[in-house]
Structure 1
Amino acid sequence: MNYLMKVFIKSAATLSYRSHAAAAAIITKSNVHTSSVSLDLMEFFDSKKNWTETNIKVGRAWKLDELRIKSNTDLHKLWYVLLKERNMLYTMEHEYKEQMHSFPNPERIDKVQESMNNIETVVRERNIAYYKLETGETGERPVEDVVNMFGLPEKYEKSEYYLPKFMNTRWVRPYLQHGLINSIAVKKFYRLYKEKLHNQERRARNRDYNHVQHLLKRFPNMNMETLKAEYPNVDIEKAKRTKKARGHFDPKY
């Protein structure tokens, strides 16, 4: 009797173990998804039905508002889909150039690149929000305002160096001690550069002023509030009193 009980218990245990193993295998198999295997280079080329087309209908780029509501997993998948699409478009563009043909819809590359840039922007926003919540900092590389060798201000991202700044004689002597930044050549360049910017602003201001005078001449009954909002840097009252603003009628102002 004891022998029969031992055999029955052993058989029941073996059957239970096999059933649990089979169930685990089924669950594991159902949770694993793989894409179709492709061992050739056709993944880098567009579909054959588009090879002879001159106009391929495509959609627009992904917007920031659309990407912000997606999860990190979806963004990760979408990034690699766009990366594969971009590689395919670059390959097709090169092949069309080799064959001396016009590449259809080259703006597809710009749309893919814009979508990838928007994904990077969304991921960066989430990283900044996470680090601010956890540590109170942005988690990005510190940026400071410096003056480059031409005397122009620029943003400099700090990075690690094996040599401290005060020990770096190749940088301290020419830039600080000898005053390369404050040299006569750099000062002359910066003065001419500021003069060029001033002339550009002056010409733009004169263009707007002359354009406002012609608008007042052609449309004497136009809304002045709208005109001031459109050209805030132009003195509207002064433009009204000029001869260019007067047409072949009695002015109302």
Structure 2
Amino acid sequence: MLKSRPNAGRSQPKQQQQQQQQQNRQPQQQQQQQLVHTTSSHYGLEEFFDSSRNLGERQVKSGRAWRTDELRLKSNSDLHKLWFVLYKERNMLYTMKEAAATEYELFPSPERIDKVEESMANLENVVRERNNAYWQLEVSPCATGERPSIFRRDVFGRHRWHKCSQHIPPYHRNWHFRNTQGPGKTNETDWFFHKYREMKRKHYNYFRSRTARYLRDLFRRFPNADAEYIAELHPEFPQGYVQHLKENHVLYDDPPRAATRARIRPSEDVQQ
């Protein structure tokens, strides 16, 4: 027992020294953590515009668009980050394109916008594939994971596809939703929808008559044209109508303008 006392007394200063060393290391570690950061560099408003080295260039080199096979190998978090990178790049390109048009200058390499949009479309397709696979595995083979849609009238009386969403109050008690997005059933809505259908019908008849006039002129110039192929190009006409125009285009010939034009006679007040 007498021999163990000096050893116990010597161990206490060692423990105190270790504690003091740990306490001295903590502020140093905190200083190092404050000096090292992983946040993105801050460029201000310049990050929303193209790089200064590309200003005034005739051509800007850029890579190809992201392919679907490459995006399938990435995780959901990587796709989420890549989506915002592409979204920011697209907005920057649109801003520079508008600025170049305002200054009457040439926008270098406009195909960059197409590449970014193609990448975003491929990324969205990959996300939809994963969402559909998850719903088919967890819910049912018929589930797609997309929001359900219904075909109903909007506030102006037009029939449109509306995507359904969950609401806390039911439809018959949600008066705000019925007044803002519910189907319109007033007299003003009926009058508007009547005029709207009339306008659509006039536009349809106008373009259809113009296309028929073009086909009559075509058969007049080329009597041996293939009517079946032309009918496939114009599905708005009923079956057999294009063949009827080919066989009877002479009946629809317009009279010459010189014969129907009224002769302009000089008025008596005009001095000749």
Give the TM-score of the pair, scaled to structure 1.
Answer: 0.63
Q: Determine if the alignment matches structure 1 residue 135 to structure 2 residue 139.
A: yes
Q: Deviations over 1:200-219 (max 9, x none)?
A: 21112112211111111111
| Structure 2 SS opposite 1:243 | coil
Structure 1 segments unaligned to the other structure (5+ residues): 1-35, 247-253
Q: Deviation string for 1:177-233 (max 9, x for gaps)?
A: xxx822221111111111111112111211221111111111112223322322341
Question: What amino acid does structure 1 have at the position aligned with 2:162?
Answer: Y
With over 3 angstroms needed to count, the CA separation of the structure-2 counterparts of 1:60 and 1:238, relative to structure 1, is farther
Percent identity of paired positions between Structure 1 and Structure 2: 36
What is the alpha-carbon distance in structure 1 between the residues aligned to residue 198 and residue 73 of structure 2? 49
1:146 aligned to which of 152, 158, 166: 152
Q: What's the counterpart of residue 244 of structure 2?
A: 238
Residue 71 of structure 1 aligns with which residue? 72
> Is the 8 Å Cα contact of residues 150 and 161 (structure 2) preserved in structure 1?
yes
SS state at 1:156 partner: strand
* Structure 1 stretches of 4+ moved >3 Å: 36-40, 42-49, 57-62, 77-81, 83-103, 169-176
Number of positions where the alignment pairs a residue of Structure 1 with one of Structure 2: 205
Residue 98 of structure 1, CA deviation: 9.8
Paired with 2:181 and 2:56, the residues of 1 have a C-alpha distance of 60
SS of residue matched to 2:119: helix
Q: Work out which of the residue numbers 155, 166, 171 in structure 1 matches 2:161.
A: 155
**Structure ID, larger Rg:** 2
Q: Which sections of structure 2, spanning at least 5 residues, go unmatched?
A: 1-37, 254-272
Partner of 1:207: 210
Aligned mates of 1:117, 1:90 — CA distance in 2:
17
SS in 2 for 1:146: strand
Deviates more, 1:181-190 or 1:121-130: 121-130
1:160 positional shift: 2.8
TM-score of the aligned structures, taking structure 2 as reference length: 0.59
Residues 105-135 of structure 1: CA distance to partner in whole angstroms, max 9, x if unpaired? 4453354134213311331133113212321
CA distance in 2: counterparts of 1:164 and 1:225, whole angstroms: 54
Residues 68 and 156 (structure 1), Cα distance of their counterparts in 2 relative to 1, 3 Å cut: farther
The whole-number CA distance in structure 1 between the counterparts of 2:225 and 2:82 is: 50
Identify which range, 36-45 or 112-121, moves more after superposition: 36-45
User: Match for residue 182 of structure 1?
Assistant: 185
User: Residue by residue, what CA displacement relative to the aligned partner does 1:26-49 show, whole Å, maximum 9, x if unpaired?
Assistant: xxxxxxxxxx99735276664554
